[in-house]
Each structure stands twice: as C-alpha cells, then as structure tokens.
C-alpha cells in the first residue's frame, strides 16, 4: 500500500496490465490485512510515541487511514501490540477514515454478498436500508461487523476496489488527453487526485458492484425483478451520482468490448475446433461476438462484477487463458442497462417521470437553484455538473448527456482540477462537448 503525500493527494497511476476475469466476492485474499499485523519492522521509533498511554495510542490509530496505520503498526512494536489487541475496532475506524461517506457503499456491497452466501436475499429490505444509510452519509462499522467481516471488507477494498479504481482513473485521463489540441495546456506525467475526487471514483466502483449484485442473471429469483431492483437502486442516487456509476459501467464495457474483439474468432461457431459438434444448435462454448450480436453479451458479462473485471485487467497474461476464462463466464442480459431503450434511456426516464414523479422532478421543473458549493464535500454536485445545467437542478442523466462527457470524467473532477486535468482545460473540453450535444436546454423539451 502507498501512503499519502504531504498535500493529502494520491497519484493516479496508469496501468500497463494485460487483459485478464472473476465472479464473486466469496473468496478474497487477505494478504494486505494480514500484513498489517505482521511482525513489525525493526526501526527506531519515537520514544515519545512509544511511551504514550494506551488510550492515546488507540486514539491515534483510530484517526489514521489504512496506509498510514499500516506504516505506524509496522514501525512500532508498541503500536503493533495495540493494533492486535483492538484489531476489529481499529480496522473499522481506519476503513471509515479511508472511505469517508463511501463507507455506506462498501458496507452495502458486503451486506449483499453476505445475503448471497447465506441464501437469504431480501432485496426490498436491502434497498430500504441502503436508502436510509445513503441519506445519512455515515455508518459506524464497529456496531455492525465482526472482526472477520471487517477483515473481508478491507481485503475486498485492497484486492479489487483500489486497483480497479486506479485503472478507471487512468482510462478517463487517457480519454481526456485525446481531446482536440486547442485545449492543450501541457501534459503532466501524472494527475493527482484530491481526497474528494478519490471518493467520487471509489464510490462509482462500489456502486457498480451493487448494480451487478442487483442485476445477477444467474439467480432466478433476482432475474424476475432485476430491472425493477436496478431502477429502485438508481432512484436512490442523485442524478450526478448516476452519471458517476454509468461512467464506470462504460469503462467496464469498453474493456470487454476490446476483449471480445481479441477472442471473437476463438469462440465463433464457425471455428473448426467446434466441427465435432452437430448443428444446430450453436456448439457448446461457442459465441457469435460479431458487432450485431454483441450488446447483450457485453451487458451480461459486464454485470459479472468487480471480481471478473479485476481478473481480466490484472491476472490473465496469456491469450489462451483469456479465451478459456471468457468462454466460462460470457453470458447474455436483456435488461438492458443503456441510454437507448434501457433504464438510462429517454423513454424509460419519461415513463418514470409520468408514473412515479419524484421530489427531484419537481425541483427540476421549478429550476431550483443549485449553486456550486465547493469541493470539500464529495456528496455535493461537482462543478462539471453545475456548469452544464446552469446552476439549477436537473434530474436528467444517461441519454441526456453524452458518452464523451462521461469518458472525460466530468462528474468526478474538482473545480481546480478541471482547469488542468490530463494536460487539458477540462472546462473548455466539457463546454464544447455539451454545446455539440445540445443546442438548447433539454429540460425545455420534456413532455
């Protein structure tokens, strides 16, 4: 794990990983968590810190995020002993310190996975609890988790969430760098993330996993109601947060789109390796991944979740292994989750407004002022969202904004970062993309 720099920022590293896939959260490596409690490094530690009363040492540890706590626990035998003595509480507090308000989303992912393992899924209860926790934006994990459960949550964060989020950030920065040269400011080697930006990106990653749980195509009980469940989940989120989620979804979709290009012939029904099987039907293990047949396979595979996405990004190194893994995990989905005929499309949003009008729809209709409040609070709308809607409330998303806008991360960046992100003037790029997409306010065209 990397610590934080003096400015409390983190670098978004560009991943050079080759393609790799996985499925569930049931089996998670705990190397990162175990290493916190490993035999501490032999170092000279401040005698002042070592001699502090246990209550003060406990308080200090409880204020540190996970990387900083790891450093201190490794450096000091006394703090290591304190950590081992109160491991559950300190891991809970450190995870809360690391994630901030995103703790609510991390717990939601854990809770749903636990229901799956216990074969006790209660979707309506889950969504109700999530809605309440999201409204409060805070959660005390120590009141809800056993030590083994918090260890599992920390391991899931380090193994799946953190590296995949870093790759997502790199993907967005690369997209932004392809913007027209007139917005070029000079390209720094790295783009640093503020704490608020990191929370927005991490929130999208966790919420993607929750979306995948709710859209699980392998569970017959969920499959009957999954479109309603996914819509109910979207309804809990603010519109700019739906854009965050869909931005991550499109990142995952792009990864699999390129993988499908790589393996299309390997799995094509006409490949001679399937000649020993009669026709029809389609041979076992064969898929027609041509563009005309691809969308349902893409959606179903994307909804496999973070574990599989992590595998295709970081673990698989050889083409034949990629083919075998994808052959096992490719599946179809017919929700669909897109901006055309799907949940994020114009038609579905119109139906929702007409049949289930919300307080957010009222705020949109009345153009309730929504000024930019700064970036200190990650739950407030970012400047990019405020810019395109002219400082008034909008409950439109998906179809009403462009893929190009989402791919430059317009709902993730702080105001200062938007001035120069990835070597580009993000404000200028966003303004151009919005004006190319709409020549008038789409809220004025609703019916």
* pLDDT of 187 above 70: no
**The tokens of 319 are what?**
């083409």
Q: Which of 34-38, 40-44, 260-264, 377-381 has the highest mean pLDDT?
A: 260-264
Residues contacting 8, CB < 8 A, separation 6+: 194, 195
CA distances from 36 to 33, 43, 447 (A): 5, 16, 57
* pLDDT of 27 above 60: no
Instruction: Evaluate whether 246 touches 254 at the Cβ level (below 8 Å).
Output: no
Q: How many CB atoms sit inside 10 A of residue 50's CB?
A: 12
End-to-end CA gap in the chain:
51
Question: pLDDT tens for residues 144-175?
Answer: 999 999 999 999 999 999 999 999 999 999 99
Question: pLDDT tens for residues 284-297?
Answer: 899 999 988 899 99
User: What was the pLDDT predicted at 185?
Assistant: 52
* Mean confidence (pLDDT) of the chain: 86
Question: pLDDT tens for residues 79-117?
Answer: 999 999 999 999 999 999 999 999 999 999 999 999 887
Question: pLDDT tens for residues 119-139?
Answer: 777 899 999 999 999 998 888
């Amino acid at each position: 794990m990397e610590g934080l720099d003096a400015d409390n920022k983190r670098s978004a590293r560009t991943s050079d990983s080759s393609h790799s896939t996985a499925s569930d959260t049931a089996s998670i490596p705990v190397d990162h968590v175990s290493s916190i409690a490993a035999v501490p490094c032999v170092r000279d530690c401040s005698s002042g810190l070592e001699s502090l009363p246990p209550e003060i040492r406990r308080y200090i540890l409880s204020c540190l995020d996970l990387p900083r706590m790891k450093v201190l626990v490794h450096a000091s035998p006394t703090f290591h002993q304190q950590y081992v003595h109160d491991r559950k509480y300190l891991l809970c507090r450190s995870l809360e310190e690391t994630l901030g308000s995103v703790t609510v989303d991390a717990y939601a992912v854990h809770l749903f996975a636990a229901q799956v393992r216990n074969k006790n899924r209660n979707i309506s209860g889950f969504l109700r609890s999530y809605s309440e926790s999201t409204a409060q934006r805070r959660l005390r994990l120590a009141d809800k988790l056993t030590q083994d459960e918090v260890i599992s949550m920390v391991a899931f964060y380090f193994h799946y969430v953190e590296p995949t989020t870093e790759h997502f950030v790199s993907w967005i920065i690369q997209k932004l760098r392809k913007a027209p040269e007139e917005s070029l400011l000079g390209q720094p080697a790295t783009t640093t993330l503020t704490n608020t930006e990191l929370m927005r990106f991490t929130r999208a990653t966790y919420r993607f996993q929750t979306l995948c749980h709710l859209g699980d195509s392998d569970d017959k009980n969920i499959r009957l109601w999954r479109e309603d469940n996914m819509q109910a989940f979207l309804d809990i989120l603010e519109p700019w947060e739906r854009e965050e989620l869909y931005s991550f979804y499109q990142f995952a979709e792009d990864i699999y789109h390129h993988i499908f290009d790589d393996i299309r012939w390997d799995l094509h029904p006409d490949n001679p390796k399937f000649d020993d099987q009669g026709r029809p039907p389609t041979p076992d293990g064969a898929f027609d991944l041509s563009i005309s047949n691809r969308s349902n396979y893409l959606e179903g595979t994307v909804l496999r979740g973070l574990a599989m996405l992590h595998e295709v990004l970081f673990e698989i190194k050889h083409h034949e292994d990629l083919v075998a893994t994808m052959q096992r995990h490719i599946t179809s989905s017919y929700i669909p989750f897109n901006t055309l005929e799907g949940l994020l499309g114009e038609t579905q949003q119109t139906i929702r407004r007409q049949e289930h009008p919300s307080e957010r729809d009222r705020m949109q209709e009345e153009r309730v002022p929504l000024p930019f409040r700064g970036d200190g609070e990650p739950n407030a709308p970012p400047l990019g969202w405020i810019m395109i809607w002219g400082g008034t409330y909008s409950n439109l998303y998906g179809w009403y904004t462009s893929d190009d806008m989402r791919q430059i991360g317009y709902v993730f960046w702080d105001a200062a970062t938007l001035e120069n992100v990835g070597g580009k003037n993000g404000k200028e790029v966003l303004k151009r993309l919005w004006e190319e997409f709409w020549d008038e306010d789409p809220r004025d065209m609703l019916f």
